[in-house]
A and B are shown apart, each in its own frame.
Chain A
């Protein structure tokens, strides 16, 4: 098999070939490392490439396969977003603050991936501390969209989405606080799943907004999404919000029949603020679902449409302001002590010069919303609105199995187009935020193109109903094959 054939493999296809000994994990890993060195100078989707570690892990995986000790991801090379701790491998959050931070421990999902025999190719670029929707807030460099190098890949998991889209990795792991897996997946034409809050351990995910953060897979197709979720989900005593339940084999929900499936289309999420090209694609996708047997009804979700964005931009920064108070220039990370006369000055200067502008803006917003005199006006009202949003979802899911919306209001936008206007940037998340607020699962899958750029459809279901999401997503993918379209790689060569 040629190098380019190897890099095109999905995890499920690679699994078959590895198990039949038709390919080796070392060959697969080397092909991907070659691809990374060929094209990532221009895409910039990695912060760190772990070539030596990857080869060593691949050799071990090949040995394991020979001994028939095969698990779901044995020998499959993946990338991990650089806000997920990897023992002995730099974990920077794409921030100057953690530029040289080497975690002494693995996140639980990293242990699970390694135990399964997955190979770490490296760490994916992100908006600093996962705050952003374009990966332009990375301290190191913005990541480019493989479909158009003048455009952003979305964010904050822009590195993971761009690497999967350009076949530099088989799959990647991202984190999603307000859309950070789904929106870049949509903009890069790949599959991105935000699981139910608590289904995947957050231990070792560097905290941004703890009540909203969730780790999930970014993959080339829906089958791989289920395959990765099989490995990373499950109870973890180290995460107080981890749900204790038996994890099913998610691959068994990959079915092509949608008869009996009731799907709701919220008209509030197809308004004037959504690009007409995006709406057209998603309406066509809904027709496909109808033809597959699903019943479709229009509904209204006016509460979340009205409040979700404001709720998110109060709650997430509030939690961020507390979570990021640990960066003090003392224990680890950047420290401006040499330019400071005393401990207090070190603290102020470290945070002034170690954080980028978006991170500071959110810490300021959160500190304000939690401060005396404003707590009642902002934070408490946001919590109440969060309750209202959750109950609007619960009412909807009494009657319907799933909700369909576009994932992002636009296709990938130009680098620099929105970076000077924070509010405009925040509006990117309007369709993805509600699922985080309610803690429910949602996926973005490729659904076609507008202006030559990928459009994602979002499928949302109720808590722990990943089965419904996989069923609809898989049936749609099999009927359309939009995931098979790839950016033109010749243009990507340096």
Chain B
């Protein structure tokens, strides 16, 4: 099965990846080559739709809602990885347009 350039552009939008025209062209060729190898699956009949998990003890991981006493230095270390900060908050470009 091959994929065309319009589909590549659509998928890139879903994946939020910017692409130049050249990127689209080469991605189209590479993905078509890869998809060809997936053809072996086409005759498989799907019986069960529950996902197959490999751990028999799958549980939700939650903790008690308690103050876990993380020091402020952990906070600083977390924030120090952010590209832009203002007054202890992560700063981003505006989401809403000004009226």
Question: 14 pairs across A/B with beta carbons < 8 Å?
Answer: A104-B77, A243-B55, A307-B44, A311-B41, A313-B37, A330-B82, A343-B94, A352-B17, A365-B31, A383-B51, A385-B41, A422-B34, A426-B37, A439-B55
Interface pair B74/A368, CB less than 8 Å apart: no
Q: Does A150 contact B (CB under 8 A)?
A: no
A422 in complex: contacting residue of B18, B23, B33, CB < 8 Å: B33
Q: Which residues of B contact A (CB under 8 A)?
A: 3, 7-8, 11-12, 14-19, 23, 27, 30-31, 33-34, 37-38, 40-42, 44-49, 51-61, 63, 74, 77-78, 80-84, 90, 92-95
CA distance A328 to B90 in the complex (A): 13
Q: Which residues of A contact B (CB under 8 A)?
A: 87-88, 100-102, 104-105, 197-198, 211, 237-244, 306-307, 309-311, 313-314, 321, 325, 328-335, 337, 340, 342-343, 346-349, 351-353, 355, 360-361, 363-365, 367-368, 371, 376-378, 380-388, 390, 422-423, 426, 438-439
Shortest C-beta distance, B10 to chain A (Å), equals 8
CA distance A353 to B31 in the complex (A): 20
Most chain B CB neighbours (cut-off 10 Å) among A211, A309, A353, A365: A365
Interface pair A364/B31, CB less than 8 Å apart: yes
User: Which chain B positions have C-beta within 8 A of A197?
Assistant: 54-55
User: Which chain B positions have C-beta within 8 A of A367?
Assistant: 11, 14-15
User: Which chain A positions have C-beta within 8 A of B8?
Assistant: 364
Look across to chain B and name the residue whose beta carbon is closest to the beta carbon of A343. Answer: B93
User: Which chain A positions have C-beta within 8 A of B19?
Assistant: 352
A348 in complex: contacting residue of B7, B16, B47, CB < 8 Å: B16
User: Which chain A positions have C-beta within 8 A of B80?
Assistant: 102
Interface pair A349/B18, CB less than 8 Å apart: yes
User: Which chain A positions have C-beta within 8 A of B57?
Assistant: 198, 242-244
- A331 with B81, Cβ < 8 A, contacts A244-B57, A337-B93, A423-B34 known: yes
Interface pair A383/B52, CB less than 8 Å apart: yes
Interface pair B18/A385, CB less than 8 Å apart: no
User: Which chain B positions have C-beta within 8 A of A342?
Assistant: 93-94
User: Which chain A positions have C-beta within 8 A of B95?
Assistant: 343
CA distance A333 to B84 in the complex (A): 11
- A352 with B18, Cβ < 8 A, contacts A241-B55, A342-B93, A422-B30 known: yes
User: Which chain A positions have C-beta within 8 A of B31?
Assistant: 361, 364-365, 368
Shortest C-beta distance, A154 to chain B (Å), equals 21
CA distance A423 to B61 in the complex (A): 37
CA distance A377 to B78 in the complex (A): 41
Please list the 7 inter-chain residue pairs (A to B) with the smallest Cβ-Cβ separation, ordered nearest first.
Answer: A439-B54, A352-B18, A332-B81, A335-B83, A348-B18, A104-B77, A367-B15
B41 in complex: contacting residue of A310, A335, A351, A423, CB < 8 Å: A310
User: Which chain A positions have C-beta within 8 A of B47?
Assistant: 384
B17 in complex: contacting residue of A88, A360, A386, CB < 8 Å: A360
Interface pair B17/A348, CB less than 8 Å apart: yes
Shortest C-beta distance, A303 to chain B (Å), equals 10
Given contacts A198-B57, A240-B61, A423-B33, 15 further A-B pairs with CB under 8 A are A102-B80, A197-B54, A197-B55, A242-B57, A244-B57, A351-B15, A351-B17, A377-B42, A382-B41, A387-B48, A387-B52, A422-B33, A422-B34, A423-B34, A439-B55
Interface pair B12/A364, CB less than 8 Å apart: yes
CA distance A363 to B15 in the complex (A): 7
- A335 with B84, Cβ < 8 A, contacts A330-B92, A371-B14, A383-B52 known: yes
User: Which chain A positions have C-beta within 8 A of B40?
Assistant: 306-307, 310
